[in-house]
Amino acid sequence: MRIGITGVTGFIGSRLASLAHGQGHAVTAYSRGRRLPVAGECLQQPKKTPHELPETPLDALVHLAGESLMGLWTPEKRDLIWKSRVDFTEALVTHLGTWKEENRPKVLVCASGAGFYGNSGTDAVDESSPRGEGFLADVCACWEKAAHRADAVGMRVITLRTGMVLGRDGGAFPLLRKVFACGLGGRLGSGQQWMSWIHIEDAVQILLKAITTESVCGPVNLCAPEAVTNAEFTQKLAAALHRPAFFHAPAFALRLLLRGMADEMLLGGQRVIPRVAKEMGYDFAYPDISSAFKALV
Give the start-to-end residue ranges of the domains of the chain: 2-231+257-296
In contact, 6 and 14? CB cutoff 8 Å: no
Where is average pLDDT lowest: 51-65, 135-149, 184-198, 219-233? 51-65
pLDDT in tens, 202-224: 999 999 999 999 999 999 999 99
DSSP state of 265: I
Distance in angstroms (rounded) separating the CA atoms of residues 220 and 111: 10
Closest-CA residue to 209 (of 269, 284, 123, 154): 284
**% of the chain beyond a pLDDT of 70:** 93
What is the pLDDT, as a whole number, of residue 53? Answer: 79
What is the pLDDT, as a whole number, of residue 163? Answer: 96
Distance in angstroms (rounded) separating the CA atoms of residues 261 and 68: 12
What is the pLDDT, as a whole number, of residue 167? Answer: 96
Three-state DSSP class for residue 216: coil
Distance in angstroms (rounded) separating the CA atoms of residues 56 and 106: 13
State mean pLDDT over 128-144: 96
Q: Is the pLDDT of residue 257 over 70?
A: yes
- φ/ψ region of 40 (left if φ > 0, alpha if ψ in -120 to 50, else beta) reads left
Q: Is the pLDDT of residue 126 over 70?
A: yes
What is the pLDDT, as a whole number, of residue 46? Answer: 53
State mean pLDDT over 281-294: 97
Query: What do you get for the CA distance between the two ends of the chain, in Å?
Result: 34
- φ/ψ region of 266 (left if φ > 0, alpha if ψ in -120 to 50, else beta) reads alpha
- pLDDT bracket for residue 100 (50, 70, 90): very high
Query: How far is C-alpha 284 from the chain's CA centre?
Result: 17
Q: Is 102 exposed, middle or buried (0-12, 13-18, 19+ CB in 10 A)?
A: exposed
Mean confidence (pLDDT) of the chain: 91
pLDDT in tens, 222-241: 999 999 999 999 999 999 99
Distance in angstroms (rounded) separating the CA atoms of residues 294 and 102: 46
What is the pLDDT, as a whole number, of residue 234? Answer: 96
What is the pLDDT, as a whole number, of residue 36? Answer: 52
Distance in angstroms (rounded) separating the CA atoms of residues 263 and 135: 10
pLDDT in tens, 57-76: 999 999 998 888 888 889 99
**% of the chain beyond a pLDDT of 90:** 75
Q: Which CATH number fits domain 2-231+257-296: 3.40.50.720, 3.40.1010.10, 3.40.50.970, 3.40.50.1000?
A: 3.40.50.720
pLDDT in tens, 20-31: 999 999 998 886
- pLDDT bracket for residue 262 (50, 70, 90): confident
Where is average pLDDT lowest: 6-15, 122-131, 221-230, 257-266? 257-266
Distance in angstroms (rounded) separating the CA atoms of residues 57 and 260: 42
pTM over 0.85: yes
Closest-CA residue to 197 (of 105, 128, 110, 289): 289
Distances from the Cα of 189 to the Cα of 249, 262, 265, angstroms = 6, 10, 12
- pLDDT bracket for residue 265 (50, 70, 90): confident
